[in-house]
Amino acid sequence: MQTQSILMRIFGPKHSSERERGFQIVRQASGQSRFNAKGVSILAALVIISNAITFHIFKGKATSSAPVETESLFLLDEASLHVHDVDLFEQKVRLVSETLAIPPEWLMAVMYSESKINPSAVNHRGSGATGLIQFMVPTVKELNVRLGTKYYMSDIRTMSAHSQLDLVFEYLQQVRERYGEYDSLTELYLAILFPKALGQESCYVMYAKPSKTYHLNRGLDEDKDGRVTVSDIEKRMKRLFAKAYMIDKPSRFF
């Protein structure tokens, strides 16, 4: 029984599966013949070695217990101006991004571009768009059909950022199903701005003078030539969100 007691101390408590196998070894050993003196000596040596290894492992952990600083999520400080529970919001952003197979920095960038990451933001130029990615009335109607809900624009404005991320995901997932995967920050932004531009050449025109839509989106005309093209959006994303723009899609998503 002393042998059994020593082995149980080596292999440790039952909550670890590996250590549970240690208890199985003990049970098997207890039914076998008694150890001879040589076996006991070997066992004692094993105990000493085990204790020495354990000491060094925990000593190493103790000397390196200083907290490791992790870099904050891109634009999270800006989001904190409008988001109550920043930690919960960050977790949701990362989850949504993982599900959409995109870097979370891309999602933060497009939400900042549209609303400064303010879930109650409203477009004051006349479009009536609202929310994190500036949902339009037709978009909300489509989402209601997709989700079986009855949201109104007023409902979107009063949602928390965390809850509204569910609708952001559903919208982007819907566009993804229609047009394919998002392979760049520019493509993710086009999915919000003008999905039909996805897969088009850089010279593709989305808005042009003198249309009302151009007037509403003239701030996107990087070249100031009276047209908003895919190239303009590419330049804008690179200029405003250089860090997110330079992040490639992780290889695990290909």
pLDDT digits (tens, 9 = 90+) for 28-42: 333 443 334 444 454
If asked whether residues 165 and 56 sit together in one domain, one would say: no
Closest CA to 117 of 249, 247, 241, 246: 241
Confirm whether 243 is domain-assigned.
no
109 and 167 belong to one structural domain: yes
Domain around 10? 2-63
Give me 250's structure tokens.
């992780």
Say if CB 146 and CB 170 are below 8 A apart: yes
Out of 46-55, 121-130, 171-180, give the one with best mean pLDDT: 171-180
Counting the structural domains of the chain, the total is 2
Is the domain of 47 the same as that of 92?
A: no
Higher pLDDT, 45 or 144: 144
Q: Tell me the C-alpha distance between 162 and 175, whole Å.
A: 21
**Per residue in 188-230, pLDDT tens?**
999 999 999 999 999 999 999 999 999 999 999 999 999 999 9
Residues of the chain with pLDDT > 90, as a percent, come to 67
Q: Rounded to whole angstroms, how far apart are CA atoms 198 and 195?
A: 6
- Residue 205 backbone phi and psi in degrees, to 5: -95, 125
Q: What is the DSSP letter of 122?
A: B
Q: What percent of the chain has pLDDT over 70?
A: 72
**Tokens at 162, concatenated:** 């965390």
Q: How far apart are CA 50 and CA 91, in angstroms?
A: 40
Query: pLDDT grade, residue 60 (50/70/90)?
Result: very low
pLDDT mean over 105-125: 95
Check pLDDT > 70 for residue 57: no
Element containing residue 234 per DSSP (H, E):
helix 230-240
Question: Is residue 213 a part of any domain in this protein?
Answer: no
* C-beta of residue 109 within 8 angstroms of C-beta of residue 192: no
CA distance 97 to 120: 21
Q: Domain holding 93: CATH number?
A: 1.10.530.10
The pLDDT assigned to 166 comes to: 98
Strands (E), the chain: 205-208, 227-229
Residues 110 and 158 in one domain: yes
Q: 84 with 52, same domain?
A: no
Mean pLDDT of 24-30: 33
Least confident of 35-44, 66-75, 96-105, 197-206: 35-44
Q: Per the domain annotation, does 86 fall within a domain?
A: yes
172 shares its domain with 112:
yes
Same domain for 183 and 86: yes
pLDDT in tens, 124-175: 877 889 999 999 999 999 999 999 999 999 999 999 999 999 999 999 999 9
- Please give the distance of CA 86 from its chain centroid, rounded to a whole number: 14
Task: Count CA atoms closer than 13 A to 81's CA, side-chain side.
Answer: 10
Does residue 100 sit within a domain?
yes
In a domain, 238, yes or no: no
* Type of residue numbered 129: A
